[in-house]
Chain A
């Protein structure tokens, strides 16, 4: 089979696993998740030969047409998958992390009931399949379908631990906001079809005029609002801190490391690859603004949190903001850095969430104020959390230093945005310094009421992720050259992507990204962020939050009505920016 014929399998294989898992748990309760692990390994094995085509030889777009419907005269009625280096990077990350997260679920929850485990495994696999489908698809309605599959699977996973009252409340918030998002995404896709008669990204790009009309701009506003809800960008983020603090250890890891990226990928596809930087230059400005606001808001709110998982969830909002700032810069460095950071963020966010999950699992406590002294009692977990924290802080030598440096390079011509990104990064340093101190390093005299053993395989997954986080940091040049650069060039060349989609594939022209690891200004900037962050953390722990931050917190009332209003406000604001 050729790579193009293999292309649907990375979605079909996890779905086969999802169908099997509720059946096999009748034989043995553990089998459902074992099937999940095998399915994700199979997915990864299928992706690798396709990936060698996509990245090899300067890069290619591999295309599969479903139902035997091939394009005719620049039109495409059927659905196409178009694997480009950008989507492929996310698909590979999803499959790889999927294996580890399924192992983590099995390790932590093997003692639960049969039917619970069958349902859990089925939902997790459907979510992973939907994420891979969204990364590969080149069709507006098909993207909407995967968005919805991911949403529905995530509701069941969010509310999985029914013994926790907040779980159902979080699920309800996620249902309300994501449904609004789904509705506007569908409305936007339908408007584009009725205006330009196209569902395929390639055909749509060719049909869209350089100066989009009113309907096309409103459709863009809808699509941005809908997918930004999935990505958790402010002001569409109300559901995220609640939903990402629930469920078994691996579930928030799955959400934060992978699911929010579905929104990011969709935004990049629609804004940069369908509309293109020329038609959507205002949308790029809008995304930059939303990104900076999310980055700062998420980081500040994370600094106030007492619940460890909630702190990480707020940090996800901040990181998604940084990612979008990178993509919306529409420069080679910014987009390449953002693709690189997407992968890095997936790795260390999964690591941090699993650490937080393990802490909850072994102590039964979730609050930083009640924890402490874990460094002496649980050295491995502490070490893994520290690796994640140092990585996210952008310490030179670990993986995020390079990707953040590239994003900052992409913002050189917009000093205000750059300052916002750097400030957000400094606050992020403070967030993790504080979390590491309060939760792990702080001495604790009182013994814990309970201190269970860490499930062995889960500890193994943590170590693998920590090693991966460190390992990726050692080969930045190779990754920038063979992953980030081709991904950036296809994202910034919509015409080439469009033509590849309508002609059964095509090769790329990759422009190399200038990247120097030891650039003095990048090193200095990283150092500055670290120093400012540590000072800020010390002041915060000592004196508490400043008043303006309290006002910011008061905005988040926890009421789903208010959060829905924020979404509506964001939608109207976006439409206003695009139309006026």
Chain B
């Protein structure tokens, strides 16, 4: 190496000083990109232009070929079912990426070179032992929180009204909690209905998202600890992967019987009944399972993050798992 100034670390090519926010520059580029959009959009076909041939074709075949009186569902689970297949695993990739990035430290058997390189980097730019002010503050808050929850009542309904509760969600009033209980039930039934009858555009995908929404509503009303018993990644993950496996199986059966992945291999029932649409309904139902569990896992693994990976002497390398077990046992 020639001179120390040429040695830079992984973050920046040269070590730049403070980040400058040049709003006028950002605005200029944003406007320029907007202008490009406008130039393109003004050349698009106007409202009321003839539909493309493939769109007309989709409407013509929805009922006779796919047994669906909802064209969007026919596209999503029928004609372009393979795109939905890709989207399914896009969601799986997102869920696994989130759980990976939000995971607690697991015990590791062996020295890993990257970890020591990481400790190096950490000592260079803050964090770790001593670290920056904000980090130690966050740790202190974390510690206080875990001490606090120990004295909290088992669930919100045991909480005498009007007390300032340690968990913010527990401080929700009786009205909110009762409302959430009633609404959750109705929403859950409605979401399953969405997928089951398949007259709704999209079927299982939006229905799965709605079910995840129910859980988030309950979380908002009752707090994390009330739900953590019900939302166990160990249970949900296999269910999610089962939904994904069912989707793969539906595709492969189409390949086996019809020579084309995701071709319909079931006889079409009377349109408008629950089994109308042959494999589309199976596909939509499996999608419901996969999407609902996937979103719930992703959301709750983010909500459950209670640790950072900075080299903290307090919990050495036996990982957070040990601490989690201890708190789970309480």
Contacts and interface: CB of A to CB of B under 8 A. Distances in A.
Contact of A554 (B13, B109, B110): B13
B146 interface: no
A522 interface: no
28 contacts: A8-B251, A12-B261, A16-B245, A18-B89, A20-B241, A64-B261, A68-B254, A79-B82, A113-B107, A123-B96, A123-B97, A133-B86, A145-B87, A145-B90, A152-B97, A153-B93, A159-B100, A214-B40, A222-B40, A242-B10, A301-B13, A307-B10, A365-B117, A540-B2, A544-B2, A555-B13, A557-B13, A575-B36
B30 A450 contact: no
Contacts of A363: 113
A360 B113 contact: yes
Interface string A118-147: 011011001101100100000001100110
B121 A568 contact: no
A120 B264 CA distance: 34
A390 interface: no
A366 B117 contact: yes
A325 to B, nearest CB: 24
A164 B79 contact: no
B79 A197 contact: no
Interface in B108-133: 108-122, 125, 127
Task: Give the secondary structure class of B's interface.
Answer: helix
Nearest to B279: A67
Contacts of B16: 554, 557-559
A291 to B, nearest CB: 21
Interface stretch (B51-59, B159-167, B183-191, B211-219): B51-59
Contacts of A112: 106, 108, 112
A77 B263 contact: no
B64 to A, nearest CB: 13
A168 B90 contact: no
A66 B261 contact: yes
Interface in A531-552: 540-545, 550
Contacts of B13: 301, 304, 553-558
Given A452-B113, A559-B19, A162 B309 contact: yes
With most chain B CB atoms within 10 A of its CB, the pick from A122, A156, A165 is: A165
Contacts of B1: 306, 368-369, 438
Given A19-B241, A78-B80, A165-B127, 15 more contacts: A5-B260, A19-B244, A23-B237, A23-B238, A64-B260, A67-B79, A68-B258, A76-B54, A78-B82, A149-B86, A156-B98, A191-B40, A304-B6, A369-B7, A571-B36
A155 B97 contact: yes
A161 B120 CA distance: 14
A163 interface: yes
Contacts of B3: 544
A405 to B, nearest CB: 32
A22 B109 contact: no
Nearest to B244: A19
A240 to B, nearest CB: 13
B7 A166 contact: no
A364 B41 contact: no
A193 B13 CA distance: 41
A408 interface: no
A450 B36 CA distance: 55
B140 interface: no
A541 B1 CA distance: 6
Given A156-B96, A214-B42, A361-B113, A306 B58 contact: no
A143 B92 CA distance: 18
Contacts, number: 309
B311 interface: yes
A69 B113 contact: no
Nearest to B310: A165
Contact of B39 (A142, A306, A543, A575): A575
A156 B263 contact: no
Contacts of B237: 22-23
A76 B90 CA distance: 24
B25 interface: yes
A556 B8 CA distance: 12
Contacts of B30: 568
Contacts of B109: 111
Contact of B52 (A193, A213, A450): A193
B14 A67 contact: no
A198 B13 CA distance: 44
A450 B11 CA distance: 25
A367 interface: yes
A113 B319 contact: yes
A181 B279 CA distance: 34
Interface string B251-294: 11011001111111000000000000000000000000000000
A152 B94 contact: yes
B45 interface: yes
Nearest to A540: B2
B139 to A, nearest CB: 16
A243 to B, nearest CB: 11
B147 interface: no
Nearest to A195: B44
Interface in B17-70: 19, 21, 25-26, 29-30, 32-33, 35-37, 39-45, 51-55, 57-58
Contacts of A310: 10
Given A23-B238, A218-B37, A141 B83 contact: yes
A22 B241 contact: yes
A77 B57 contact: yes
A370 to B, nearest CB: 10
A444 interface: no
